[in-house]
């Protein structure tokens, strides 16, 4: 998959960067979440919204809004802590979802390859 690297070292699939579904902050946040995810784990956990905000250079409020939009558009699923995790102030868990945009060939080629 073709990627674009932003100044903060976050790699983003070109199909996301060229899409009109997401704003730049949402694209960068999703790229950040993808970098934290690996095949060995089923979700991204143990990272707070504050830590995400620091990684992408935005406020916690901006990160919170971007996470909600990513979930609304089916790029991620957010699981809020419950029970003992809630009592222990554990952060949300983020589950990356496979979005249909990754299959769209129009968004997965470089502009000069048309």
Rounded mean pLDDT of the chain? 84
The per-residue pLDDT for 114 is 45
- Residue 108 belongs to domain spanning: 3-113
Q: How many domains does the chain have?
A: 1
Q: Are 77 and 71 in contact (CB under 8 A)?
A: yes
**pLDDT tens digits, 57-103:** 999 999 999 999 999 999 999 999 999 999 999 999 999 888 877 77
Q: Could you tell me the CATH number of the domain that includes residue 16?
A: 1.10.10.10
């Amino acid at each position: 998959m073709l990627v674009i690297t932003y100044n903060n070292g976050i790699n983003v699939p070109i199909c996301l960067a060229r899409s009109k579904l997401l704003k730049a902050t949402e694209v960068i946040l999703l790229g950040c979440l993808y970098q934290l995810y690996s095949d060995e784990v089923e979700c991204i956990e143990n990272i707070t919204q504050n830590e995400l905000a620091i990684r992408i250079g935005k406020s916690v409020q901006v990160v919170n809004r971007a996470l909600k939009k990513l979930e609304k558009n089916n790029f991620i699923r957010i699981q809020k802590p419950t029970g003992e995790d809630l009592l222990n102030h554990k952060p949300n868990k983020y589950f990356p979802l496979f979005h249909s945009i990754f299959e769209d060939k129009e968004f997965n080629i470089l502009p000069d390859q048309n």
